[in-house]
A and B are shown apart, each in its own frame.
Chain A
Amino acid sequence: MTCSIKIDNVSMRYGDKLALDGVSLEIPEGTIYGILGPNGSGKTTLMRIVLGLLKQTGGSTSVCGYDSVRDQMEIKAISGYVPETPILYESMTPSELFSFIASIRRMDEGTFRRRIEALIDAFGIDEYMNEFIGSLSFGNRQKVAIISAIVHDPKILIVDEGINGLDPRSAKLFKSILLDMRDHGKIIVFSTHILEIAESLCDHVAILYNGHIVANGTIADLRNEANEPSQNLEEIFLKLTNADDIPEVARYLRDEIEH
């Protein structure tokens, strides 16, 4: 059975504030889909709606045929989520947390043991397994959050700025894991501010700006859309989000500081 994410005309309103306005996307399996956008553009809101953590106020979202409002549990069962800030139980050790997740997700013990040992070894956190998570550095907590999200081999992985705080080796490892997951038919929805990562990793990119999709497609499509065939993703992004006047702003700030 093929699995895809369908976001159809989704809106999200908080009182008078419209966080998402008629967003539509279709993400097929075997894809790493980058969601880019300035701060506050609605990326996290969109990801949380896909996961069923937030109910949209308009439109519909389905994940592998499951409705994100009605079938939240089914979606959570086949998904993994790496949030922007690793939110974990600080008074548990990574070892206890992984066992807890495996128990809640009802994983087979042998498979869990094999996978968790491989992941711990790969991310180099063996020595922290019996420490309290609250005493780990941000980067190590992020590694724990990543392992928690992928240990059950999810069909859908939502990564919200998940590479933040990782050392270069772990960041490279995580990117390789994402590419491998894509090659095995998984769907990865990935948001980042580091446009080089998006450019090197994502098959498709959508740019969110003020709750709207302003561009959507492969990097080549975006270049064509911005009429800048030779430019990199950063320049295209700045142009599409009306932020291509940065050098002038920096000069203005320098003038203000010096006066």
Chain B
Amino acid sequence: MRLNTKTLFYLARRILIEERYLALKNSASFMIRSSKVRNKGNYIMRYVNISYGATSFSFIIFSLILTAPSLMNHEIYTLSSVVLLLFIYSLFINISNSLLFFVSVNINHILDPLRVLPVDFPDHVIAVSWFIYTGSSSLFAVLPAVFLSAFLLDDPYILAMGIIWSLFSVMLGYIIGSAMFVVFGSRLSGRRTRATNILRNVGRILFLIFVFAIFEIILYNANIVNGVIPRLPFPYSYFAPVFNIQSTIFFFHGPLMEATGYIIAITYTAASILSFVYVNKKAFYKLLEPTARTQIKGEQHVKANVRSQQFSFFSKDLKISSRKSQNLVLLIMPIFFVFPTIMSEVLYAPTARADPVTLYNAMVAFVIVTSSFYSILFLVIEGSGISFIKALPLDSRNIIRWKIPAPTFIFVVISVSMLVAISIKIVMGFAFYLFIILDMILYFVSSIVYNMNRLYRKIPDTADTVNFYSFGGQIAFITTFAFTGLIVGSADIFSLMIQDLLRLSVYMFFVVNTIVGISILLILAFRYGILSYRIRHEDGPMLQA
């Protein structure tokens, strides 16, 4: 039995409502408000719509703020760069959103009830659900810029091409996100030894880095870098999807070139539709896969170790974040967002002797993205374990305090690796590298302390599970990025200002920045009881085993 279109849309809506409901159901405010409404389904849908509206609105504002100055000054090249930046941003947002959507549907087993029904479910139901309620909002990040550009430059070609490419970006983001889920997403099943598990995950990461490296090599071998956005030479500039936005939309006008532009855009869109059909089917059936169980015979060795509470929490967080490959992908996702910027700012700089402050400023972007992302991720990885943790004698201060080491450890490993790689190309004093890593850690920990405390308070006492929507979905991402940017960015600007005003050396920039970093960390640590709090229960009612 096949479903008709009306049922398909109903199901797409149902999936989304289910996902949001799981995030909201135990919040006291939700229970109180929903008890007052008769149509509970509509109540959640209203919440979904409000959240969608708020996200779209923030994207519109973001788009307008970025494009307004160059539009008013009629700086076409800058405008085209900004529009390209918005397209790349939209593409990354769609990649991460679609991957997170699949992960969320998977870990919450949202499709499980469908398996028992005698219906042949259309495999694009997830795509429809994602596009209507999540993916389409990213169009508001690019379309206002496209409309304004077309209007002010009085060129309908810009409008037509902008619309085609923006739809293509959404589809490409979904294809990449769902492909990542097909490769990396899995439910834990069966027996897996520690060695094979580690090897499997290492293999997947190497594959991911390999794909990413090819992408980077193609992009940067063009070897012409201007500002934060790489500008490609002619053949690439016209044919590399998304990165050809500047040339196909803003430059190369004339009847022949415009016709070619349409052909390219339509060809890529058609190719993406074919890829979509293939990848989407794979991803959908992966969601429907039942969890395999294996029967094991024979006694296994019991490792019964009692460690310190802190180490035990750290070890638990590392395990639950790294054992599911989908979590691993999320852990390394910040690198994807900022590595191109760091590459263009530093590695392809005209001289090999870089200014340490420039390198630090490039790494600040990495701190902001990683800290924001990990603040959310390391709460979300608790999943349904949050209710388990809450039944143990731990309060929120313990939980936040002990949650800081695992993301910090991963951040330090990635940052040091990046700096070692950069040090091969950039000649710079060792002391500068030490300063950079020290300052990065200080600001990373400060913002993670602030954000985790802020976000943790949003989890209701009675929550059975935590997912990305427990904190408000995309809005949570935007506000967390904003707060982190404020903490890290303002300290950086303050240090630069002091250095400039007092005409201090580069070393002094780092000294000031480190002092500011230590001060911020101490203030936040005392504010949230990370340092001052001595747990009563550590010396209190411990069970006499």
State the A residues within 8 Å of B (CB): 14-17, 48, 51, 53-55, 72-74, 76-79, 81, 83, 87-92, 95-96, 98-109, 111-113, 115-117, 120, 126-132, 134-137, 152-154
Contact = CB atoms under 8 A, between A and B. Distances in A.
22 contacts: A16-B36, A48-B462, A53-B461, A53-B462, A77-B393, A81-B391, A88-B385, A96-B303, A99-B305, A100-B313, A102-B304, A103-B306, A103-B309, A103-B311, A105-B393, A105-B542, A109-B304, A127-B298, A132-B188, A134-B188, A135-B294, A152-B543
B210 to A, nearest CB: 26
B393 A73 contact: yes
Given A53-B462, A81-B391, A152-B545, A127 B299 contact: yes
A106 B542 contact: yes
Contacts of B187: 134
Contacts of B299: 126-127
Contacts of A120: 302
Nearest to B536: A73
Interface stretch (B52-60, B221-229, B317-325): B317-325
Contacts, number: 177
A55 B302 CA distance: 38
A63 B294 CA distance: 42
Interface stretch (B189-197, B274-282, B445-453, B519-527): B189-197
Contacts of A113: 304
A104 B312 contact: yes
Contact of B316 (A76, A90, A92): A92
Nearest to B190: A135
B136 to A, nearest CB: 33
List 3 tightest A-B contacts by C-beta distance, closest first: A15-B35, A103-B312, A15-B32
Contact of A73 (B296, B537, B545): B537
Interface of B: 28, 31-36, 187-192, 291-294, 296-309, 311-313, 315-316, 319-320, 323-324, 383-385, 387-388, 390-395, 461-462, 464, 536-538, 540-543, 545
A153 B36 contact: no
Given A106-B538, A152-B545, 9 more contacts: A53-B462, A74-B540, A77-B540, A77-B542, A90-B188, A99-B304, A107-B306, A108-B306, A126-B300
A153 B545 contact: yes
Among A55, A77, A109, A137, the most chain B Cβ lie within 10 Å of the Cβ of A77
B304 A54 contact: no
Nearest to A126: B299
B300 A137 contact: no
Contact of B309 (A96, A106, A131): A106
A129 B301 contact: yes
A83 B387 contact: yes
A112 B304 contact: yes
A92 B320 contact: yes
Given A14-B35, A53-B461, A132-B192, A98 B542 contact: no
A40 B343 CA distance: 58
A131 B191 contact: yes
A62 B135 CA distance: 50
B198 to A, nearest CB: 13
Contacts of A129: 300-302
A111 B544 CA distance: 10
Contact of A74 (B189, B190, B537): B537
A135 B191 contact: yes
Contact of B33 (A15, A53, A98, A111): A15
A159 to B, nearest CB: 13
Given A53-B391, A87-B384, A78 B541 contact: yes
Contact of B297 (A55, A99, A127): A127
B192 A105 contact: no
B520 to A, nearest CB: 30
A116 B303 contact: no
B391 A51 contact: yes
Contacts of B312: 99-100, 103-104
